[in-house]
Structure 1
Amino acid sequence: MQSPASHAELTLATAMAGVAFILVLGTVLGAGARRLRQPAVIGEIIAGIALGPSLLGQLPGNLTDKVFPAEARPMLNAIAQVGLLLFMFMIGWEFEKGLLRNRRTAAVAVSLSSVALSFGLGVCLALAIHSRHAPGGGSSSTSLALFMGAAMSITAFPVLARILTDSKMMRTPVGALALAGAAIDDVLAWCILAVVSATVTASGGGDLFQIAGLSFVYVALMFTVVRPVLAMLVRRLARRRALPHLLVLLAGGALLSAYATTWIGIHAIFGAFLFGLVTPREPADLLQVHVRRPLDMVSALLMPAFFIVTGLGVDIGGLSAANYLELAAIIAVACAGKLLGAGLAARACGMGWGPARTIALLMNTRGLTELIILNVGASLGILDTSLFTMMVIMALVTTAMAGPLLPRDEEAWGTKPTPAHAEPVKARG
């Protein structure tokens, strides 16, 4: 019989082996996705689902539980959370305010229109299906409605940036406008999700006001106190070439900010994202080489655990016939909100049908950002297994649509390329 120490070591080794499985399978399927003109994240998501109960768990011997035993899953979740928080920090840090320059009006119109329609349709859908997904006093209809509205409103900024780069559309007017609109979309969706998180976490009206007040104070402190102090420390460490200390300062700060927002009562990802927003961008060359690239590599190695955790919560085989009808409705609502909302707004701003259609398809991309939101919903108890599974499938479908349907002619891209600007998020995609 094994001693407790050896059993703990075996459990840890099993968790590490699980990460190794997803690293290899995700790399293989990611490369296959690229050959099919899809972002690599499609293959990585499918790898996580394949190792869960939807495929591996259907084989004789219940292999999913053997490869990812219950004792190892908290460790996998911890690894996934660290990777996720560093990823969200990078998203906030790479957010380029200059994207809105010269296209602010069109970007705001496209973004607000797509978010408003997607949010409204998501709320209506949630109210229609709530009774089937809140057994035994589950999430309230208000929580589910707000959450579904936020989830439908997302455009995956990082994955969109990768699609634009791969299709050579990054510096076209359509690509720049889509990227700017996606940036606004995601900020709005994160704000909505923060409200949902606070609403679910609060035990009453008093708690909700307390969370809102603390959140306001924290955001104000981050921009008025932390940002200037952080800029001073970064300049000083960069001048002294204390590069390891600089890396520790920013990574540690992101994790501590995540702890602070968790303590306040909103999800940890908001703290990491907010710390990224207030992190200085200069000296750009030094930070790119000695901080951003190392953090990108660390995140790339840790994020596979996030795909495992997501895949373990997806059970396609458990969907009923009624669930497939709901899935069709979810996909229809998701596509309608973005395609109509963004496309019609682009037309109203004077764009032709070709560029407007391209904008709409790009804004319908959800990818990894959607998975992050869905995992927040699952952790808050808003989504049950079947609804979580259907929403993950929706994220896959809406992301996979863009590659095959995007037009390849320059007329649909907006004719003249825009001037080069700073590289966007070097994101997983």
Structure 2
Amino acid sequence: MHTVTTTEVFLLAMLIIFTLPYLVWRLGRTEYYAPLVVVQIVAGILLGPGVLGATFPDYYSFVFRPEVVTALNGVAWWAVMMFVWVAGIELDLDEAWKRRRETGVTAGFALFTPLLFGSLAAIVLLQTGDGWAGEKGARWQVIVGIGMACAVTALPILVLLMEKLEILREPIGQRILRYASLDDIAIWGVLALILLDWDRIGRQGAFLLLFGTLTLAIRWLMVRIPERDRWYVGLIWLAAAGLAADWAGLHYMVGAFLAGAVLDAKWFTLKDMDNFRNTILLAVMPVFFLSTGLRTQWDVGGVAVFGAAALLLVAAVVGKLAGIHIAGRILKWEKGEASIIGWLLQTKALIMIIFANILLDKDIITNETFTALLLMAVASTMLTIPVVTPKLKALAGLLKKAG
């Protein structure tokens, strides 16, 4: 009788990961309201312990046995590190500086207003009882962490959605990328502050000093080697920065983002950058979505988790739209302009899920809070295309407005 090997079970898990979301996306024709990446995230939730594990516990324990989950997590870690690294490279700080008043005002309100709304929502959740704050999370860390999760804009997913809407290369698309890029820097800065560990402050100081020194060296090297070598050297730099950041207690994802942020996008051709990002999304990020789904829990009760998700969704969307409308009044935008920009910037998905994963890794939030944030991210992203599409058709003249 044949004994099923770990390799065979791992490949069975991979077969499920890639087949199920694709069939739902293609046969269900969900592209308008749920792009493939959103379907993959939802599939990860359904395949997790909260749904599949509760409904078919024997099947779940057979496929997602500890050694298989460990292997999947390894693939997921590297996948998301590459993804965040590319997001860091794509930051266009030069253009943001050229239009610093417009970009600063818009990005500032786009970040701090939903941060405030999300923090207030977090306070409400904490008042309802235990189950939302992790064992190692100070009250301020939980509040600011949840608030920032509500404020996050998923820059890579935003790029994909604007490509679908055919506005990515239009002036309005480039404006929105500037706003999101500036917020990306602030988001990772706040995360580093949340993760600041006074027991490891010496290590973290040493990391920042070493990282700054090596950044000068890697930038000096990059301009002196062919582009085909820059990709390989960049991945070495990514692994080193992630390792150093994790050793310092800042989390490997912070190191991955910083490793990309200090590189210039002009060192890589736009086509190659798009191909690399799309290949990551196609080939390995689905494993991250599955590993994320495996962390969803409903122990405090499904109603409570869904209620928390609804509260956070309202805080995230209303906060983002309110902030953008305030910016629009200050900058004297045309009617309807703030609504389009606000709805696009409230896109969550990947970056928020990565952000929430880090908070969960550090035991700042619980699995239940993570699940509520994950549901909020999926819902907010699914709202974007259906809401924005008719607004763009009604205000087509805004597409060419550069600022």
TM-score (norm 2): 0.88
Deviation at 1:219, TM superposition (A): 4.3
Deviation at 1:141, TM superposition (A): 0.7
Separation (CA, whole Å) in 1 of partners of 2:93 and 2:265: 12
2:369 to 379, 387, 397: 387
1:365 to 347, 352, 367: 347
Per-residue CA shift, 1:204-257, capped at 9, x if unaligned? Answer: x4533x25523431442244332112332x34xx5xxxx4x5543222221111
What's 1:426 paired with? none
Amino acid at match of 2:294: L
1:225 to 200, 210, 217: 217
Q: Secondary structure at the match of 2:67?
A: coil
Tell me whether 1:13 sits opposite 2:11 in the alignment: no
Separation (CA, whole Å) in 1 of partners of 2:103 and 2:32: 30
What's 1:24 paired with? 19
Tell me whether 1:95 sits opposite 2:91 in the alignment: yes
Tell me whether 1:214 sits opposite 2:206 in the alignment: yes
Amino acid at match of 2:317: C
Deviation at 1:13, TM superposition (A): 3.2
Q: Secondary structure at the match of 2:347?
A: coil
**Aligned pair in 2 of structure 1 residues 67, 259: CA closer, same or farther (>3 Å)?**
same
Write out aligned runs for 1:244-263 (5 A): 246-263=230-247
What's 1:423 paired with? none
Per-residue CA shift, 1:319-370, capped at 9, x if unaligned? Answer: 3434443332211111122111122212321112311111111111111111
What's 1:422 paired with? none
Deviation at 1:140, TM superposition (A): 1.8
Per-residue CA shift, 1:3-25, capped at 9, x if unaligned? Answer: xxx88xx2233223212211122
**Aligned pair in 2 of structure 1 residues 104, 76: CA closer, same or farther (>3 Å)?**
same
Q: Secondary structure at the match of 1:220?
A: helix
Amino acid at match of 1:27: Y
Q: Secondary structure at the match of 1:270?
A: helix
What's 1:126 paired with? 122
What's 2:71 paired with? 75
Per-residue CA shift, 1:126-181, capped at 9, x if unaligned? Answer: 23323423679452212212211221220011111111111122244433322211
Separation (CA, whole Å) in 2 of partners of 1:256 and 1:168: 37
Deviation at 1:294, TM superposition (A): 5.3
What's 1:49 paired with? 45
1:143 to 141, 144, 165: 141
- Is contact 1:42–1:396 with CA below 8 Å preserved after alignment? yes
What's 2:263 paired with? 279
Separation (CA, whole Å) in 2 of partners of 1:72 and 1:414: 52
Most deviating of 303-312 and 218-227: 218-227
What's 2:190 paired with? 192
Q: Secondary structure at the match of 1:353?
A: coil
**Aligned pair in 2 of structure 1 residues 288, 355: CA closer, same or farther (>3 Å)?**
closer
Separation (CA, whole Å) in 2 of partners of 1:397 and 1:214: 40
4+ residue runs of structure 1 moved beyond 6 angstroms? none
- Is contact 2:136–2:362 with CA below 8 Å preserved after alignment? no
What's 2:400 paired with? 417
Separation (CA, whole Å) in 2 of partners of 1:46 and 1:366: 14
**Aligned pair in 2 of structure 1 residues 115, 14: CA closer, same or farther (>3 Å)?**
same
1:304 to 286, 306, 317: 286
**Aligned pair in 2 of structure 1 residues 403, 292: CA closer, same or farther (>3 Å)?**
closer
Most deviating of 79-88 and 134-143: 134-143
- Is contact 2:167–2:399 with CA below 8 Å preserved after alignment? no
Per-residue CA shift, 1:247-279, capped at 9, x if unaligned? Answer: 432222211111011112211112222222233
Separation (CA, whole Å) in 1 of partners of 2:169 and 2:287: 34
Q: Secondary structure at the match of 1:168?
A: coil
- Is contact 1:172–1:415 with CA below 8 Å preserved after alignment? no
**Aligned pair in 2 of structure 1 residues 124, 70: CA closer, same or farther (>3 Å)?**
same
Q: Secondary structure at the match of 1:72?
A: helix
Q: Which runs of 5+ in 1 are unaligned?
A: 420-429
Tell me whether 1:178 sits opposite 2:160 in the alignment: no
Deviation at 1:30, TM superposition (A): 4.0
Q: Which runs of 5+ in 2 are unaligned?
A: none
Separation (CA, whole Å) in 2 of partners of 1:138 and 1:265: 14
Most deviating of 271-280 and 179-188: 271-280
**Aligned pair in 2 of structure 1 residues 138, 256: CA closer, same or farther (>3 Å)?**
closer
Amino acid at match of 1:14: V
TM-score (norm 1): 0.83
Q: Secondary structure at the match of 2:333?
A: coil
Separation (CA, whole Å) in 2 of partners of 1:64 and 1:38: 26
What's 2:250 paired with? 266
Deviation at 1:34, TM superposition (A): 4.8
Separation (CA, whole Å) in 2 of partners of 1:158 and 1:400: 15
Q: Secondary structure at the match of 2:157?
A: helix
Per-residue CA shift, 1:381-407, capped at 9, x if unaligned? Answer: 122121111110000111111111113
Q: Secondary structure at the match of 2:183?
A: helix
Tell me whether 1:339 sits opposite 2:331 in the alignment: no
- Is contact 2:211–2:241 with CA below 8 Å preserved after alignment? no
Separation (CA, whole Å) in 2 of partners of 1:268 and 1:184: 21
> CA RMSD for the aligned pairs?
2.8
Amino acid at match of 2:51: L
Separation (CA, whole Å) in 2 of partners of 1:172 and 1:298: 25
